[in-house]
Chain A
Amino acid sequence: MRKFSLFCLMLLTVLALTGTGVWAQEAAKPETPAVAPATPQPEPATPQPEPATPPPPAAEPAKPATPEAVKPAAPAPAPAAPATMSKLEEVIAKTPVGTGKGQINPEAPKGYMGIPGAPSHFWLWYILWGTWVGWIFSSVGAFGGIMAGVGHISVFGLSDYAKGFRQTNPTLNKLLTDSIRTSNQYLVGLSAFISSFTYWRMGRLVMPLGLCLAGGGILAGYLVPLFTVGKLDASTYVGFFGIIVFAVAFVLFYETTEKGQASRKAARAAAKAFEDAHIKKGGEASAEQLKGVQVISWGLTRIRFTFYGAEFSFNPIWPILGGFVINGISALIGVGGGFLYVPFLTSVAGLPMFIVAGTSALAVLIGMIVNIFNMMVVRQIPVDFLLIGTELIGIAIGSVLGPMTSKKIPEVWLKRLFVVLAIYVGIGYLTKGFLGQSIFPGM
């Protein structure tokens, strides 16, 4: 069964990647013109060192800073030179030159993605913001992804910078917007990838359910970039982001209400009562238990399986739709996605946690591979890897700090704090995105 699962996973992934590549050929062709195999000469203008020994750093420390040294594409044959310009360089070249709003001054210091005059911050700020995001992830949970997005949109000023080109160069506005959401995807998606993979290895898999979820996710992973890459301006993106923040605020708020707290207490009490009455210690597994998940029937309208003797069934359309919506949000906004599968399957479909973890992880893995591959390799959305790398360092630090501090602050108060923050950010982004001006400062 495990080999079969692996085979299906690989097959789906290969199909998805191949499909994405073929579908996106038209989009990719003009943007990434092929160069002759010998052209990608990585040799810089620096003198060749002896192959056996690395060059001493003191001998030629400053040379790679020269444009010729850091851009190995430059020595390409003259006729090919304009064609080797990247998507970003092409768009920048079409932007009016000047120092005003919506203009680029080539003499200005280079900032985000090397764009002259773009926002740029000292690297420590990126690490500090990442630490905040990591702390939230490890103490509150889902809101960490939102905060990663807030960092790119507001704290580092990328959204306002992109918005400045709305009139002068809408293509740059949209390219920067795509870059922001792809950066969110990298930051949250890559990390969730490992986590999901670990759960997938330890979990149990309901193959038909995983395939339905993954199928919906792949469809969204293809359709959403197809209809939104290069078409979504910064304001609209910020507005959509605000809607998602509101949804998270609503969930967090519900968990802090009396009803939400009571429901949690009741669940804990019921589980405790059952534990006291039935807990088994070190019992032998029965033959029925050893069977695990057993698929009884596959149908277009209903798929049935048993797990530990209890029968479960679902209509395949729901996980397909669920996979589509969840991965669609992830592809559109750059946050969300993976973590929504588990509550969807346990709360909406009522499936046991024991099999949900492994099954959802399959969908997460495939969805993320498709999303990231599509944005990164096929559509070649440029991102600032220095920003992402330093933020990831911060998130890792925050993951250690979170457990140290979370026990000192009551969980319900942490959630209340983030409800207020989420409402502030949600309203701020909604008004900024759809009304043109945020009613709150700092957005």
Chain B
Amino acid sequence: MSRSAVRKEKTAALKVRKRFRWKKAVPIYLMVLPGVIYFLINNYLPMAGITIAFRKINYRDGIFNSPFCGLENFEFLFQSGNIQVAIRNTLLYNVAFIIIGTVFPIAVAILFNEIRGKLSQKIYQTAILLPYLMSMVVVSYLVFAFISADNGFINKSILEPLTGESVAFYQEKAYWPFILIFVNQWKGIGFSMILYFSSIIGISPDYYEAAKVDGATKWQQIRYITLPMLKPTVITMFILSVSKIFYSDFGLFYQVPRNSGTLYEVTQTVDTFVYNALMNQNNIAMSSAASVMQAIIGFILVVAANAVIRKTSEENALF
């Protein structure tokens, strides 16, 4: 056979294979199309929209074509003053949520694991997961039923009969750090408890059997088996929370204090700040600067956090 004939045969074979592949590939491309379009619109176009934060917006040129102005919007953002309070609140609340949201659910999960009887486990789990399914609007109604000044349970049934005075919770800053931390835990405990519980039941019973044979007490089993075995989950969850430390649960901080202006000093976070600047003050410059700052710091923190996970426990790394 001549060389050219071999080549011809090869290209023909390649063509057949290619045609076969394309026949399979075309339907696949059609299938992914709607999802790809969605991610383009919902995620990638807004990424391009980040440039808004670097433009001096005027409506003649349109939002996406206004002239660039460097970091002017960011300077304006920090000079206006309120963002510092929002950043401080976001960070402090997140620190509190991370600490309480780690220690408390683990303790509960360990105790939950001690309960024998599938039925009681199921009942408890159903009950404490219920708040997790509620929207923050509904949660704000539940909170209102307790702390409203005019007809809240705490004022009418506890404080007034005992002290003769009522507390206007929606005007008093001092209570809110406690209220928000409590509500956050109340809503989230079911979720994080199940998460840690699923790690605990993954621990091989052999460890506990061996420890019992050696005469280890329950405390020792928890201290030397359960907690060390939970460490990878805890570390992953911890690093993930740290990577989200610049973000807050918008619903929690907007709905539960009912966006009350007198409480902003202790309830305003970056997310509510962005909302109020955009929707109530119509201040595109300030809100876009704040939200872009949040997105960029968030990205840096995710990448850094992932690098840390890679070092400590590679199999838990996100990417």
Tell me if chain B binds chain A. Answer: no
Chain A residues in the interface with B (C-beta under 8 A): none
